[in-house]
Amino acid sequence: MSKIDRLKEIILKKKERLALAKQQIPEEELKVRVQAVTPARAFIEAIKKPHQISLIAEIKKASPSQGIIRQDFNHLEIARAYQEAGVQAISVLTEEDYFLGNISYLNEIKNLVSVPVLRKDFILEPYQVYESRFYGADAILLIADLLTQDEILQFTAIAAELGMDSLVEVHNEKELKKVLKLKGVALIGINNRDLRTFEVDPKTTEKLFTLIPKDKLVVVESGLKTYQDILFLKILGVHAVLIGTAFMQAENIADKVKELMAW
C-alpha cells in the first residue's frame, strides 16, 4: 500500500463505520439523545492562557505511520497521568482501524478527568458532530483538507449549537487561505504532518504561523519531541501544542510531560 493511498483508505473505512453507526443510532434519534447530555466544558477557555503555552495531550494507541505506539495501552491510566501532570486539555483519537481508537473512550475519559476533551477523528458528516457531543466531547477536530468551506461552516455551527469548540486543522497555505475566509473559526491547528504522505516537516509551522491574524488561537500539532521545540513555538507566539507520540512512547508519561513543558 503506497503512502499516498493511505488517507483514501482511512476515509473509505470511516465511511463504512459511519454507515454502521447510523444503523445503530439513526441521526434523528441521536439529535434527541444529545439534548440530555451534560453540558460541554469550555475548551478554548482552558487553553487560552496569556504568556504561556498550553498543552493538549493526546491519547492514541497506534498510527498508520508507526503502527502500535504504546504496547501497554490503557486509556484511563494515561488520562489519569495527564490530569495529574496538569495538562490543559486531552485529545482522544477515536478512529478504530488505523489508530486503534474507540469512541467509547471519550465518555470514559471524560468521567475521570476535569479538563476538556477533544475528539480527534476524520469527521466527514454532521452525524459525527452530534455523535461527538453524545459521547462526551467538548471540542472536535475538523480537517480542512477533507471538507469544503460550506462543510466547515456547517460543522462548526452545529458544534457551537451543542456547546462545543472546533479546532480546524490545516497543513499548507492553500488550506489556511480557505479557512481564513470563513467567519467564526477562532481556533486553527497547524499540523506539521502531511496527512497524505504522513511525513512531518516542522517548517510548516514557520511558514503558516505568520499568515494567521493575531486574533486567532493557534495550536501546533505533530513532530514535537523536545523542550526546545516547545520553547521555539512559545517565542513565536503559539497558544498551544497538541502532543501524543512523545508521551505514548515514554515509560513515565507524567515525567515526560514535565520534561517537555518545563513545568
Instruction: Kindly give the confidence (pLDDT) of every residue in the chain, 263 residues in length, as a single tens digit, with 9 standing for 90 and above.
Output: 444 578 899 999 999 999 999 999 999 999 999 999 999 999 999 999 988 999 999 999 999 888 999 999 999 999 999 999 999 999 999 999 999 999 999 999 999 999 999 999 999 999 999 999 999 999 999 999 999 999 999 999 999 999 999 999 999 999 999 999 998 899 999 999 887 777 888 899 999 999 999 999 999 999 899 999 999 999 999 999 999 999 999 999 999 999 999 98
The pLDDT assigned to 45 comes to 97
The pLDDT assigned to 65 comes to 84
Tell me how far CA of residue 241 lies from CA of 47, 97, 127, 131, 234, in angstroms. 9, 25, 28, 25, 9
Partners of 89 in beta bridges = 56
Q: What share of the chain is helix, strand, coil (3-state, %, to 5)?
A: 45, 15, 40
The pLDDT assigned to 120 comes to 98
Residue 128: which CATH number?
A: 3.20.20.70
Say how many domains are in the chain. 1
pTM listed for this prediction: 0.95
Look up 166 and say whether it is catalytic.
Answer: no
The pLDDT assigned to 4 comes to 53
Tell me how far CA of residue 188 lies from CA of 9, 210, 239, in angstroms. 26, 13, 10
Spot the catalytic one: 14, 58, 110, 175. Answer: 58
Spot the catalytic one: 54, 91, 166, 191. Answer: 191
Spot the catalytic one: 54, 91, 166, 222. Answer: 222
Spot the catalytic one: 61, 63, 95, 169. Answer: 169
For residue 57, the tally of other CB atoms under 10 A from its CB is 29
Spot the catalytic one: 120, 132, 178, 256. Answer: 120
The pLDDT assigned to 1 comes to 42
Look up 151 and say whether it is catalytic.
Answer: no
Please name which of 99, 134, 140 lies closest in space to residue 13, comparing C-alpha atoms. Answer: 99
Look up 60 and say whether it is catalytic.
Answer: yes
Look up 222 and say whether it is catalytic.
Answer: yes
Look up 61 and say whether it is catalytic.
Answer: no
C-alpha to C-alpha distance for 174 and 119, rounded to whole angstroms:
25
Map grid coordinates 515514554 to a residue.
250
C-alpha to C-alpha distance for 169 and 149, rounded to whole angstroms:
13
Phi/psi of residue 27, nearest 5 degrees: -55, -45
Note down the domain range covering 78. 4-261
The pLDDT assigned to 206 comes to 92
